[in-house]
Each structure stands twice: as C-alpha cells, then as structure tokens.
C-alpha cells in the first residue's frame, strides 16, 4: 500500500494485470466501474451473484447483505466474493473476467446532485418522480439504465431505473413503487418538489442492442420503467420489425400509462401492447387478457427463436417468463433482464 495515500488500496486484476485504486470503504465493483473497466454485474446489491469473482491475495470484508444463498459458504472459503458487496482491507489481487462490450454503450459513472421537480401517484403504490440534474449538461446515460440514490436515513443506496429515453436536459422520470416499511421507496415516494437528492450513475446493461429484428418486451409492476425507456428509444428511430410489449399487473387499478401505450399502438402498426391482469375480480369488467404474463406470452407467440427479449420485474416473473421464452426457442444470450 502507498504510504502517502492511506485511504487507497491497489487492486490488481488477473489475468489482465491491470491495476486500479479503490478507496477505503468503496466496493470493488464501484472501483472497477469508475476506472472505466467492464465486468459482469446486475443488482449491485448482493442478490444476483452476477459479479462473483475470486480474490487470490489480500484482506477484504464481505458485507452483511450477502446471504449464504448468493454466496455459498464453500465459495467464501475458496476466496470467492461478490464484487458489489466486498470492500478491500489491504491491496488485493482479484481474478476477474473482463467483459466484451458487445454493442453496449458505457458512460462514465458520476456522482450527482438533483432537484425533485414533480411527484405524483400513477397507481395506489407507484409514484412518478421527476428529477432534474444540477450538473451543467446533465449526465449521459443509455435508455434502460438505472441510477442509485442515496437514502440518508439508512446510509445506503437504492437503484431506480429511468423511465424515459435519454434526451439531453430533460427531467428524468422514475417509477417508484412504495414498499411497506421499505426505507428507500418510502424516502423516494415522500420527496416533495424542490427537495435535493444525491446519488450516482448511470449503471446497468439493459440497453437496446439490435433493432434489426423482432423484439419482445415484458414487464410487471414498476418494472415498466426501463422497458418504457427502451420502447421510446426504439420508436424514436427507424424500426421496421415487430415489437411486442406484454405488461403484467394484478388488477385494473394497477395499470398505468395505458393511454400512452395504446396511442403508440395506433401510431405504429408494428407495435403491440398486451396488458394482462392476474388477480382481477370476476365481477368487474375487463375485456383484455387475464392470468400470468408468462402464459399470455406463450398464447401470443409460440416461436420467439429469432427475437431479442427484454424483461423487467420481480424474480418470479423473470423466472417464469424466461422458461416460456426458452420453450419458444430463444437462447439465454438473447434475453436481457433487470430483476427487482
Ligand atoms: C437494477 C435495479 C433497478 C431498480 N429499479 C427500480 C425502479 O425503477 N422502481 C422501483 O420501484 N424499484 C426499483 N428497484 C428496486 C429498488 O432498488 C429497491 O430495492 C426497492 O425500492 C425496495 O427498497 P426499500 O428500501 O424500499 O425496501 P427495503 O428496505 O430494501 O426492503 C423492505 C422489505 O421489503 C421487501 N421488498 C423489497 N423489494 C420489494 C418489492 N419489490 N416487492 C415486495 N417486497 C419488497 C424486502 O425483502 C424487505 O423485507 C430496482 C432495483 C434494481 C436492482
Ligand atoms: S450480486 Fe453483485 S451485482 Fe448482483
């Protein structure tokens, strides 16, 4: 360790031999991304295990949020860590596979300060929160990505996906679902216009990669946010193929922005919006699809083998829909998802 910079640790990545500096208290993943390197990751919160890597030498601490489910005890014994939830306690040597970009755009991760300009309810528990960046030219991001907001009360961060496509100097829309006793979502949903928020970003790899084919978008609940950004991006440019958006909600009252989606369907005959309700009371009128979204997808599209699919929603939705898409012939490499 360098004596003049006591708060920095040197982390060597193998097999590339690249060296980066990571601040005391900073996660390895944060240090890696902020040094402009690309590795596999998803939730940034110790859940998805996509950021698993092996420490070959040095001292470190794995955060309490990592459960035995995300990182098995024998893996810990062998030196495996989750980069998003591990902080160095000495210089380290870490075995990491760097990722090829494969058409993804990477933007520098920056700390931001922003002002809340609007907070309104879209459903009984989902809020539209609009945020204006104070950085002179905003922060560049790709449609489908997310930011992390600082949640002061718990001194942690929570991730929220932008719900609009990237446009310079436009307020950013977020759809935040209020979770009972959830520190982050309640903090966000209670923010009033004029309030200051801080955080960092952009993060995430759900980006529109190939518009030269049929596309399928599937979301549930607040998972509509990044999907909306991607579809807006798609139809803002030339798109000659077929795009489907399947949206799963529990009841009619949980649907939102429906008019916007049906308008898009009218404007673009190659866009198809299919909302489905899983828990709609029988005595209320609903002429659309019912049941779980995975079954509805199967009903509409039996062969998805040539498509790309973008999924966002709770783990059970991602799991059931992924199985349906596999059955329809889609390969894992053509499925892009954010789970929350
Ligand atoms: C990449 C990414 C993007 C995300 N984008 C969005 C977004 O656009 N909009 C959005 O609303 N959220 C989004 N999330 C989820 C968000 O980051 C928080 O996890 C969520 O708001 C809950 O945080 P909390 O602090 O309120 O709850 P916590 O205090 O973390 O949890 C409180 C309790 O609620 C449970 N819980 C947590 N999440 C849920 C849930 N979704 N449903 C039911 N119970 C839950 C927990 O298990 C716990 O028991 C995203 C997450 C990730 C990883
Ligand atoms: S567990 Fe680290 S990114 Fe999901």
Residue nearest to atom 19 of ligand 1 (CA): 158
Regarding pTM above 0.85, the answer is: yes
In this structure, which topology does domain 8-95 adopt according to CATH?
Ubiquitin-like (UB roll) (3.10.20)
Polymer length in residues for the chain: 340
Ligand 2 geometric centre to CA of 316 (Å) = 18
Domain boundary assignment for the chain = 8-95, 110-203, 215-339
Q: Pick the atom of ligand 2 nearest to 48's CA.
A: 4
Q: Is residue 230 in contact with ligand 2, taking CB distance under 6 Å?
A: no
Looking at the domain 110-203, which fold is it?
A: Elongation Factor Tu (Ef-tu); domain 3 (2.40.30)
3-state secondary structure of 297: helix
Whole-number pLDDT of residue 64: 95
The 10s digit of each residue's pLDDT in 46-61 is 999 999 999 999 999 9
Q: Which ligand is nearest to the CA of 161?
A: 1
Residue of 28, 22, 19, 23 whose CA lies nearest to 55: 28
The DSSP 8-state label assigned to residue 191 in this structure reads P
| Closest ligand 1 atom to Cα of 176 | 11
Q: Which ligand is nearest to the CA of 153?
A: 1
- Edge-to-edge order in the sheet of strand 156-161: 156-161, 146-151, 196-203, 110-121, 126-133, 172-177
> In whole angstroms, what is the distance from residue 99 CA to residue 197 CA?
32
Given this model, what pLDDT does residue 168 score? 86
Instruction: Give pLDDT, residue 3.
Output: 47
What is the tens place of the pLDDT at every residue in 264-276? 999 999 999 999 9
Q: Per-residue b/e over 303-320, b at no fewer than 16 CB within 10 Å?
A: ebeebbbbbbbeeebbeb
Question: Among all ligands shown, which has an atom nearest to the Cα of 67?
Answer: 2
Ligand whose nearest atom lies closest to the CA of 178? 1
Handedness of CA 257, 148, 137, 114 (dihedral sign): positive
Q: What kind and span of H or E run contains 233?
A: helix 224-236
Output the CA 117–ligand 2 centroid distance in Å: 31
Domain 215-339 annotated CATH 3.40.50.80: yes
Single out the residue of 21, 22, 32, 29 nearest to residue 48, CA to CA: 29
Residue 278 has what pLDDT? Answer: 95
Confirm or reject: Cβ of 205 under 6 Å from ligand 2: no
Tell me which residue of 315, 319, 320, 322 sits closest to 339, measured CA to CA.
315
> Residues near 205 by Cβ (< 8 Å), separated by ≥ 6?
41, 42, 104, 336
Q: Any bridge partners for residue 336, and if so which?
A: 310
| Mean pLDDT per 10-residue segment, the chain (340 residues) | 65 95 94 90 91 97 95 97 97 90 84 97 98 86 96 95 92 97 98 97 92 97 97 96 98 96 97 96 87 96 96 95 97 92
> Rounded to the nearest whole angstrom, what is the distance from the C-alpha of residue 325 to the centroid of ligand 2?
24
- Report the distance separating Cα 243 and Cα 201, nearest Å: 28
pLDDT at residue number 90: 96
Which protein residues are within 6 Å of ligand 1, measured from CB? 43, 45, 146, 158-161, 174-177, 179, 181-185, 204, 222, 225, 338, 340
Q: Residue 135 has which token pair?
A: 């950085």
Q: Of all atoms in ligand 2, which is nearest to the CA of residue 66?
A: 1
User: Residue 226 in contact with residue 240, Cβ under 8 Å?
Assistant: no
Q: Are 11 and 31 in contact (CB under 8 A)?
A: yes
CA distance 181 to 196: 22
């Amino acid at each position: 360790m360098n004596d003049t910079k006591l708060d920095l640790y040197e982390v060597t990545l193998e097999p590339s031999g690249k060296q980066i500096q990571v601040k005391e208290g900073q996660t390895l993943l944060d240090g890696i991304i902020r040094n402009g390197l690309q590795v596999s990751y998803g939730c940034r919160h110790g859940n998805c295990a996509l950021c698993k890597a092996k420490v070959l030498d040095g001292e470190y601490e794995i955060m309490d949020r990592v459960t035995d489910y995300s990182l098995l005890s024998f893996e810990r014994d062998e030196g495996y860590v989750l980069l998003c939830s591990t902080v160095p306690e000495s210089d380290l040597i870490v075995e990491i596979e760097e990722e090829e970009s494969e058409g993804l755009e990477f933007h520098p991760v920056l700390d931001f300060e922003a002002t809340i300009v609007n907070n309104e309810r879209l459903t009984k528990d989902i809020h539209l929160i609009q945020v204006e960046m104070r950085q002179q030219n905003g922060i560049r991001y790709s449609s489908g990505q997310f930011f992390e907001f600082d949640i002061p009360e718990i001194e942690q961060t929570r991730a929220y996906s932008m719900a609009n496509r990237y446009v310079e100097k436009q307020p950013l829309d977020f759809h935040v679902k209020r979770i009972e006793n959830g520190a982050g979502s309640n903090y966000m949903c209670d923010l009033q216009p004029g309030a200051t928020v801080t955080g960092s970003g952009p993060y995430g790899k759900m980006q529109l990669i190939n518009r030269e084919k049929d596309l399928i978008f599937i979301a549930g609940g607040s998972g509509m946010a990044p999907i909306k950004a991607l579809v807006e991006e798609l139809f803002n440019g030339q798109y000659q193929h077929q795009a489907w958006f399947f949206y799963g909600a529990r009841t009619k009252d949980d649907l939102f922005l429906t008019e916007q989606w049906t308008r898009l369907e009218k404007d673009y005959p190659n866009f198809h919006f299919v909302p489905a309700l899983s828990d709609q009371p029988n005595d209320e009128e609903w002429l659309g699809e019912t049941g779980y979204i995975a079954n509805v997808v199967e009903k509409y599209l039996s062969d998805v083998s040539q498509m790309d699919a973008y999924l966002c929603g709770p783990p059970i939705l991602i799991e059931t829909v992924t199985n349906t898409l596999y059955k329809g012939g889609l390969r894992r490499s053509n499925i892009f998802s954010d789970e929350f």
